[in-house]
Structure 1
Amino acid sequence: MIEMEVCANSVTSAIEAQLGGAKRVELCASLTEGGTTPSYSEIVMAKKMLDIEVFPIIRPRGGDFLYSALEFELMKEDVRMCKSLNCEGISTGILSREGKVDLTRCAELFELAHPMKVTFHRAFDMTADLEEALEDIISLGAVRILTSGGKSSALEGAAVLSKLIAKADGRISIMPGAGVNLRNIAEIIALTGAKEFHASARLPVSSEMTYRNEELNMGADTDEYSTTLTDAGLVKKLLELANSAE
């Protein structure tokens, strides 16, 4: 059976992921930035309310994956927090200036995380040499790599993903993610042979506010009176399509 990891932007989304049949959630904040570390309360409530695996992302900010000394200390504190809350794993990744996996810092995080499992997230796609990065991540002991094959979407990177899966040869799971939806999931699975995939499976949700101040917004140029949340029905349909394509 093909398994699904849901990129959940809240505990509400995580609950929907579980209802839809997801294997685990990558719990995140700020999906518009590609995901950053969720709050302590989000992780606490996710662990209280879910039976499936919870992998918080350990990423102190958006942008690149080259972190300052202070940011690295923040990441280590977040790993300790996740470990204290009995999370099943974390999703993280650190790169060097040259676009290589930062073996020294990653090894420290991985050791600190043990016995939690570690997914190396899409920092992998920003490396200068994907095959070299693959071997480095395997040597670190990660259980999977979340990747689009170095492209903007998993469908665009399908040929690369297929090669990575073949090169990994069962030593690590290669999990396609980025732009995965109902229109392309069957094709992605058929082209890559992946055994698990990653998607947010979100739908828009309108605010229940009756009073609305349309004169401003509180941040980015977005609709202040709507959001997006994972939908259990969409998760279920994605899994059905993925498994029909296997």
Structure 2
Amino acid sequence: MTVEIAVQDVEGARIALEEGADRIELCVALGATGGLTPSFALIQACSHVGLPRGVQVLVRPRSGSFVFGKTERMVQLGDVRSAILAGASGVVVGGLNEDNTIDVPFAAALIECARDEGRRCNRDVQVTFHRAFDMVPDQFAALDVLIELGYTRVLTSGGAPTVPEGLDRLRDLVRHAAGRIEIQAGGGVTPESIGAIRAAGVDAIHLSGKTLVAASGGPGGGGQNPVERTDRAIVRAAVLAAR
């Protein structure tokens, strides 16, 4: 089972590599927003760390709804190209309609943009549909749409608040996928829950393994808000449980 660690800095990428993770999802503002698009330089630096399966970059311009306006969609397409140019091995993307069905034209444009930039860089790239999938009313129909579009994987908790609560749905999604798309379990994954997740037959797990470190930014830096750091012990335990 593949292990993906969500990290927010170069040190997190190095910890993931050193503790045996396969790949990372790179984002920023994870705890506050669920994750936003990282900078070009951060993508570039993490891409040079040398993870076996590289860096998957989250492309998301803001927190909140996954229903995006025209300008927001345009920005994300530009961020997809920038991420791959910076060295990403893949991007993590998605968007919904007002009724929470997949925004198919946007999903198609995202994967086409990623593959096109990958060809320009002479590199195969992977495209993951992120946890907007967990808001879709008919996940099996949505999975068929993503398979038809050529997506590499879907990141999901099975529509539940956490993966352990969504294991029955995850089993059903794995059966429905039948190897045509990777099902990656993400959301509330802990080292202790990985055994049960493995038993559900999912292809990969995704967790942040983060801890909070006290820090003061003063009046102009967010006050006493702690800094999120990748916890080496959690990553190590997750990799051992997955293996």
Cα RMSD, aligned residues only: 1.8
1:183 and 2:192 aligned: yes
TM-score, normalized by length of structure 2? 0.90
Counterpart-to-counterpart distance in 2, 1:38 and 1:135: 30
Taking the TM superposition and a 5 Å limit, the aligned residue runs for 1:1-246 are 2-31=1-30, 32-52=32-52, 53-114=54-115, 115=118, 116-190=125-199, 192-207=200-215, 218-219=221-222, 223-224=224-225, 226-243=226-243
Counterpart-to-counterpart distance in 2, 1:239 and 1:189: 12
Counterpart-to-counterpart distance in 2, 1:182 and 1:142: 27
Deviation at 1:106, TM superposition (A): 1.1
Deviation at 1:217, TM superposition (A): 8.4
Match of 2:122 in 1: none
Q: Do the aligned residues in 2 keep the contact of 1:138 with 1:172 (CA within 8 Å)?
A: yes
Q: Do the aligned residues in 1 keep the contact of 2:35 with 2:63 (CA within 8 Å)?
A: yes
Counterpart-to-counterpart distance in 1, 2:154 and 2:224: 33
SS in 2 for 1:184: helix
Q: Do the aligned residues in 2 keep the contact of 1:76 with 1:109 (CA within 8 Å)?
A: yes
Query: Deviation per CA, 1:99-152, whole angstroms, max 9, x where unpaired?
Result: 111111111111110132101110100112111111111111111110000010
Q: Do the aligned residues in 2 keep the contact of 1:5 with 1:24 (CA within 8 Å)?
A: yes
Counterpart-to-counterpart distance in 2, 1:28 and 1:75: 14
SS in 2 for 1:18: helix
- Give % identity: 34
SS in 2 for 1:99: coil
Aligned positions, number: 233
Deviation at 1:29, TM superposition (A): 0.9
Deviation at 1:56, TM superposition (A): 0.7
Q: Do the aligned residues in 2 keep the contact of 1:17 with 1:231 (CA within 8 Å)?
A: no
TM-score, normalized by length of structure 1? 0.89
